[in-house]
Amino acid sequence: MEILVCAKRVPDTSENEIELNRAGNDIQRDDLVYSVNEPDNYAVEEALQIVDRAGGSVTVATVGGEDDEEILRREMAMGAKNAVLLSDEAFQGSDGRGTATVLKAFVQKRNFDLILTGVQADDGAAQVGGMLAAMLDYPFASLVTSIEVVEGRKLKVSREIEGGNKEINEIDLPCVLSIQTGINEPRYVGMRGIRQVASVPIPTLDAADLGVDAGHVGERAAKVKRVDYFAPPVGKGAEMLEGSREERIDQLIELVRAKGGLK
Amino acid sequence: MIADVIQSPAQATYWLIQGRVLFLVITLLGVVCFAYIVAKRMTPLMRGAPDFRFDRPLARLVKVLQFWLGQWRHPRYRTAGTIHLLIFAGFIILVIRAFSLLILAVSDHFVMPGGHLYDILKDYAATIVFFAVGIAAIRRLVFKPARYAKGNTADAIFLLALIGVLMAADSVFEASKAAAHAQTGQAVEFLATLSMPWVLKNALISASLPTLQHLNLGAFFTHEVTFFFLLCYRPFGIQFHVETSLFTIYFSKLDRETLKPVRWGVPDDQLDQVKSFGVKTFEDFTWKHMLDFYSCADCGRCSDQCPANAVGRPLSPRFLTTKARDYSFRHYPMLGRSNNGTALVGGIYSEDEIWSCTTCGACEAECPLLVEYIDKIVDLRRGMVDDGKVPQSLQKPLKSLESRGNPFGKMEKKRAEWAKANGFQQTCPVKILNGKESAETLYFVDSITSYDDRIQAIGRATAKILAQLGENFGILGAAEKDSGHEVRRFGEETLFMALRDHNTEAIRATGVRRIVTADPHAYNALKHDYRFVPEVEHISQTIARGVRAGRIQFNPVEYPDNVYAYHDPCYLGRHNQVYDDPREVLDAIPGLQRVEMQRSRDRSFCCGGGGLALFYEPKEEQRMGVRRVRMAAEAGANVMVTACPFCMVNVEDAIKVAGMEGKMTAIDLAELAGQQIAATPNRED
């Protein structure tokens, strides 16, 4: 099975103190460290596991610039056979639809049986996967928490639904799935692994290579625009329970029960 | 010459075969079998990874004298140790006797070397060994010490019984001949008074000559057959150490505080060319580590001391070894070729088992045969890291160490903020050695002391003490990265090397002459894992020196009723033998009452481990720290003094988990010293 995973490089929220810049239109970007968007990493792991079972190969693609190559290398160190950087000045400032347009053009140049995206990017809107499916006229399932390859051109996928329940769907290939974290336990990628793929060339495809009309992507074509950035006001502090240990336990049980945590 | 009333075994006839011929056949068969078995056992060693153990023969000889001939560690377990010492001493004495008997089997009237003195010695030796194996068997069968549980008791008893048979047969052989000679007025062999042959001789003195002759030949035959059977049977079980222990100890690790390189003979800059890291299949172990597996006597002392085993984690060092040994026996069968190897982790070991170790070193401090564990655990982890098999709980901190130089993912620029908190900067300014400032001494802070709110207090106490001592010191600030101590011990060698190289460069750029740290893990890393950095000292050593030189005076304790117990951090105590300095500091504080926990010094009980061990989520029934805190309470203490930031985290957590708040508190040695330090040194003299 030929699998494409669409990945994105994002500032890692666990390793950065995200603050607004002075103008208030973006976050402070100096001194940030980046990593591959977490759900995308799960998607790559899932793709690798499917290939282990059913054969084929994994390709990872990202829309971005030179800096974004680092996440492609990391995913290659993880085991992805191919990586492609989709990069063009014209792509800059794209909204979700613009990014999906670029990815669609790439998918149409190759033959993929299955396309995986992370459920959403840390700095994104969880829309590229769905739009890409629609543009390609492929079936789509979101919030996928397990994938089973059934005979023929079908998959059985389970999806997370409200209340922690799961539903099982059958879906025809080719399709697009957005992957939820926790679907697997991604393997560790160490420095040594990255160093081993450090000199593997990663092809870059631009608008012309992909046959993307520059007018349909990028900042000018974007129909969703960020107008403001703000940090939510700090809410009321934590409620401190008072009294003896037993009294505090009783109060806590009462609180949890009132919120429906105990039945 | 008068003919002997007792026929010698070589002359005698056994089932129509002449003794000489029969015993020659048995001897040849035994020797050939043994040689074949040993050759088979050597096969994996030849295929194992390289290990450099042929250097420093003198130092190795000293090890042999101390740990093999001197049985140095055996008395640590009084009863079993004494029994073993007796058996070992007996065996050493009986080696000459055994060879004499082998020669006697084919050569008439061979005269044993050694004379009367040796005769007396060997009679007593045989007697002592006989009773010692008897007591050992009774211990195993009746008293059943817990550490023998899940072992192969039947096999152990069988082996002990065979030794007993050897001793008894030899004694009957001697006694029957002496009794016959006494009856017929021939020269009687001298038998040591009250020894087993002596007692038997007196019991047999009135037996008929033919009976004595039969007993004599029967005993000799039994001895011969048992001897060769035992020789060929030992390589299949726990008694193989009789043959291998000498080599295991001779080739034992001389620099025990260092960690094994990824691959012996491959320098760091060529590691990228090594295809696979660590131990994945059996042949990835070094030949010495394989020899360790053979040598293990399954005595269970390692696991008896292992904190991971004590709290119910899925790790027992003893089984780590015996599982590998059993696997190697299956993998390299006596008949036929070796089977295809399987992955060790996922096969005989589980991932959790290998991650459960805190590398505290309690097992290695105990093993009478100096079997190594930490290097094997680290090598197995290197293999898992190389295959990407790292628990999710460790992946985040490792990633943060790569990108931010600390496991918490905190900003580099905030690394020195501990020195500014609570107005500390005004009372005790700490220089940052970033090129503009210089100093004599570097205080290496390391990650947890830099970033953890609670532990930062240890950093400030350390700085205060250094200032009080008049040290010209500074810190690296944002240029400091994690020492990588646990990064290395958790198997991420490449990341460790990056951290080490970065810190080495940063330290050397400051031009400092020495390094001080309050973190035993950083201390151990800088001292043993780093090269080309100045001398490093733990703050407890610095304080002790100050106390000795009279440069530090302490105020009397505020609450004289408090009872203090010092907890030896693994990487200060067991791994670096700093046991006395911290105690000396405590004892220099006027009015401080100190007790020792039962498990202290090289038997200290790990509090749960440092560095990445704080992030790992083990499967366990209890926390190590909770056990440790209870041990302090049992010793009668209500204050636990540690000298390690990770011990502080674990112990303070454990006090809460154990519900002992108000009954037990924890304080770091540097904090206590900083708090008790008198403002100005006593200048009266």
Question: How, if at all, do strands A165-172 and A154-161 pair?
Answer: antiparallel
Those residues of chain B whose CB sits closer than 8 Å to some CB in chain A are 272, 277, 385-390, 392, 394-396, 398-400, 402-404, 409, 411, 413, 492-495, 498
Residue B1: per-residue pLDDT: 41
Pairwise CA distance, residues B172 & B176, whole Å: 6
Residue among B387, B392, B409 minimizing CB distance to A15 = B409
A52 in B contact zone (CB under 8 Å): no
Contact A187 B390 (CB under 8 A): yes
Question: What percentage of chain A reaches a pLDDT higher than 70?
Answer: 100
Mean pLDDT calculated for residue range A229-248: 82
Q: Which residues of A touch B492 (CB under 8 A)?
A: 190-191
Contact A15 B494 (CB under 8 A): no
Q: How far is CA B333 from the centre of its chain?
A: 29
What is the dihedral sign for C-alpha B162, B168, B172, B175? positive
Q: Which one of B277, B382, B394, B411 would you mutate to disrupt binding with A, by most A Cβ within 10 Å of its Cβ?
A: B411
Which residues, at least 6 apart from B185, have a Cβ–Cβ distance to it below 8 Å? none
Q: Which residues of B touch A14 (CB under 8 A)?
A: 396, 400, 409
A99, amino acid identity: T
DSSP A93-107: T--HHHHHHHHHHHH
Q: Which residue of A has its CA nearest to B392?
A: A185
Contact A196 B386 (CB under 8 A): no
Pairwise CA distance, residues B46 & B283, whole Å: 9
Name beta bridge partners: B442.
B474, B515
Burial class from Cβ neighbours inside 10 Å (0-12, 13-18, 19+) for residue B131 reads middle
Q: Give the residue carrying structure tokens 């043993």.
A: B528
Contact B388 A188 (CB under 8 A): yes
Question: How, if at all, do strands A9-11 and A82-86 pair?
Answer: unpaired
Q: Which residues of B touch A188 (CB under 8 A)?
A: 385, 388-390, 394-395, 398
Q: Which residues of A touch B396 (CB under 8 A)?
A: 14
Q: Is A6 helix (H, G, I), strand (E, B) or coil?
A: strand
* In B529-667, alpha helices (H): 539-548, 580-587, 624-634, 645-657
Q: What is the 3-state secondary structure (H, E, C) of A32-64?
A: CCEEECHHHHHHHHHHHHHHHHHCCEEEEEEEC
Whether B351 contacts B618, CB under 8 Å = no
Residue B370: per-residue pLDDT: 97
Residue among A187, A191, A196 minimizing CB distance to B388 = A187
Considering the segment(s) B400-548 as one domain, its CATH architecture is 3-Layer(aba) Sandwich (3.40)
Quote the minimal CA–CA distance from A150 to chain B in Å: 27
The answer to ipTM > 0.85 is yes
Pairwise CA distance, residues B647 & B520, whole Å: 10
Contact B388 A12 (CB under 8 A): no
Residue B435: per-residue pLDDT: 86
- H or E element in which residue B668 lies: strand B665-668
Q: Which residues of A touch B403 (CB under 8 A)?
A: 12, 15, 33, 35
Contact B272 A189 (CB under 8 A): no
Which residues, at least 6 apart from A167, have a Cβ–Cβ distance to it below 8 Å? A158, A159, A161
- Reading the block at residue B462, the tokens are 């350390």
Residue B680: per-residue pLDDT: 58
Residue among B277, B389, B395 minimizing CB distance to A192 = B277
Q: Which residues of A touch B491 (CB under 8 A)?
A: none
Quote the minimal CA–CA distance from A24 to chain B in Å: 22
Sheet containing strand A165-172, strands side by side? A165-172, A154-161, A140-150, A175-179, A114-118, A2-6, A57-63, A82-86, A204-205
- H or E element in which residue B431 lies: strand B431-432
Name beta bridge partners: B441.
B473, B514
Q: Which residue of B has its CA nearest to A194?
A: B494
- Name the nearest CA neighbour of A166 among A138, A147, A184, A150: A147
Contact B386 A35 (CB under 8 A): no
Q: Which residues of B touch A31 (CB under 8 A)?
A: 411, 413
Whether B406 contacts B438, CB under 8 Å = no
Quote the minimal CA–CA distance from B415 to chain A in Å: 14
pTM of the model: 0.93
Q: Which residue of A has its CA nearest to B412?
A: A31
- H or E element in which residue B392 lies: helix B392-404
* In B405-455, alpha helices (H): 424-427, 447-451
DSSP A201-261: ---EE-HHHHT--GGGSHHHH-SS------PPPP---PPPP-S-HHHHHHHHHHHHHHTTS
B633, amino acid identity: A
Q: Give the residue carrying structure tokens 């015996």.
A: B322
Q: How many CA atoms lie within 13 A of A170 on its CB side?
A: 5
Q: Which residues of B touch A187 (CB under 8 A)?
A: 387-390
Whether B164 contacts B90, CB under 8 Å = no
- Reading the block at residue B450, the tokens are 């830099």
Residue B683: per-residue pLDDT: 42
Q: Which one of A15, A17, A194 would you mutate to disrupt binding with B, by most B Cβ within 10 Å of its Cβ?
A: A15
Q: Which residues of B touch A18 (CB under 8 A)?
A: none
Pairwise CA distance, residues A7 & B596, whole Å: 57
Which residues, at least 6 apart from A228, have a Cβ–Cβ distance to it below 8 Å? A24, A25
Cα angle value A118/A120/A125 (rounded, 5°):
150
Q: Which one of A52, A188, A189 would you mutate to disrupt binding with B, by most B Cβ within 10 Å of its Cβ?
A: A188
Q: Which residues of B touch A190 (CB under 8 A)?
A: 385-386, 388, 398, 492, 494-495
Mean pLDDT calculated for residue range A112-134: 94
Pairwise CA distance, residues A91 & A128, whole Å: 14
Question: How, if at all, do strands A140-150 and A175-179 pair?
Answer: parallel
In degrees rounded to 5, what are phi and psi of residue B574?
-55, -40
Contact A31 B411 (CB under 8 A): yes
Burial class from Cβ neighbours inside 10 Å (0-12, 13-18, 19+) for residue B540 reads buried
Taking the alpha carbons at both ends of chain A, their separation in whole angstroms is 46
A21 pLDDT tier (thresholds 50, 70, 90): confident
Residue B40: per-residue pLDDT: 95
Residue among A17, A33, A193 minimizing CB distance to B403 = A33
Pairwise CA distance, residues B632 & B654, whole Å: 12
Total residues belonging to chain A: 263
Whether A219 contacts B426, CB under 8 Å = no
Q: Which residues of B touch A33 (CB under 8 A)?
A: 403-404
Whether B471 contacts B440, CB under 8 Å = yes
Whether B97 contacts B279, CB under 8 Å = no
Q: Which residue of B has its CA nearest to A187?
A: B388
Pairwise CA distance, residues A188 & B240, whole Å: 40
Quote the minimal CA–CA distance from B137 to chain A in Å: 49
Domain map (residue ranges) of chain B: 13-236, 282-386, 400-548, 563-676
Considering the segment(s) B563-676 as one domain, its CATH architecture is 3-Layer(aba) Sandwich (3.40)
Question: How, if at all, do strands B473-475 and B431-432 pair?
Answer: parallel
- Reading the block at residue B50, the tokens are 């390289």
Total residues belonging to chain B: 685
Taking the alpha carbons at both ends of chain B, their separation in whole angstroms is 90
Contact B495 A33 (CB under 8 A): no
* Strands annotated E in A72-225: 82-86, 114-118, 140-150, 154-161, 165-172, 175-179, 204-205
Q: Is A114 helix (H, G, I), strand (E, B) or coil?
A: strand
Number of other CB atoms surrounding residue A235 within 10 Å: 6
Domains of chain A and any CATH numbers: 2-221 (3.40.50.620)
Whether B545 contacts B584, CB under 8 Å = no
A29 pLDDT tier (thresholds 50, 70, 90): confident
Whether B76 contacts B82, CB under 8 Å = no
In degrees rounded to 5, what are phi and psi of residue B64?
-60, -45
Contact A188 B495 (CB under 8 A): no
Whether B522 contacts B611, CB under 8 Å = no
Name beta bridge partners: A184.
none
Torsion of CA B115, B120, B123, B128, to 10 degrees: -140
Residue A15: per-residue pLDDT: 84
Residue B682: per-residue pLDDT: 44
Q: Is B38 helix (H, G, I), strand (E, B) or coil?
A: helix
Residue A17: per-residue pLDDT: 84
- Reading the block at residue A178, the tokens are 């957005």
Considering the segment(s) B282-386 as one domain, its CATH architecture is Orthogonal Bundle (1.10)
Number of other CB atoms surrounding residue B261 within 10 Å: 14
Which residues, at least 6 apart from A144, have a Cβ–Cβ distance to it below 8 Å? A157, A158, A159, A177, A178, A179, A180, A183
Q: Quick one: DSSP state of residue B147?
A: G
Residue A245: per-residue pLDDT: 83
Whether B310 contacts B624, CB under 8 Å = yes
CATH fold match for the domains B282-386 and B400-548: no
pLDDT mean for each 10 residues of chain B (685 residues): 71 86 94 96 96 96 97 95 96 92 81 79 95 95 90 91 96 93 84 92 92 93 96 93 96 94 94 93 97 95 97 97 96 87 94 97 97 98 96 95 95 95 90 92 98 96 96 97 98 97 97 97 98 97 96 94 98 97 98 97 96 95 97 97 98 96 96 89 43
**Contacts across the A-B interface (CB distance below 8 Å):** 57
